[in-house]
A = this chain, B = another copy of it.
Amino acid sequence: MTERSELLQGTLDLLILKALSLQPNHGLGIARRVGQMTQGTFEVKPGSLFPALHRLEEQGWLDSKWGVSENNRRAKYYRLTKTGLGQLRTETEHWWRISLAINRSLEAVI
């Protein structure tokens, strides 16, 4: 009787890239931004967030530097790189293609 996850696997990277395209941010700030962007539909947990950030940084799509948050805490700020912007565009197109295909399938009465 496990509660089904709300987040489709594969969409987390896309949402993080999109959030960072709006402005650089630190980890928890990104999570909050994603929640805000999706009007509460997605809630990103730390156990998902940090592996994803490291993954994206290792791909070269983000870079990071330590700074101080708006609450005066030590925080690592992430920023979208140029190739990261390209990746955002690629993944966005990929999403359109897939979601369109599924939407058509759900309407279809072949």
Which residues of A are at the interface with B, using a C-beta cutoff of 8 A?
A: 4-6, 8-11, 14-15, 18, 22, 33-34, 36-39, 41-42, 92, 94-95, 97-99, 101-106, 108-110
Contacts and interface: CB of A to CB of B under 8 A. Distances in A.
A27 B100 CA distance: 25
Nearest to A15: B105
A22 B104 contact: no
Task: Count identical subunits in the complex.
Answer: 2
Contact of A22 (B22, B95, B110): B110
B10 A8 contact: yes
Contacts of A14: 102, 106
B102 A11 contact: yes
7 closest A-B pairs by CB: A9-B9, A41-B101, A37-B105, A38-B101, A99-B99, A8-B8, A8-B10
Contact of A104 (B8, B39, B92, B102): B39
Given A41-B101, A98-B6, A99-B99, A92 B109 contact: no
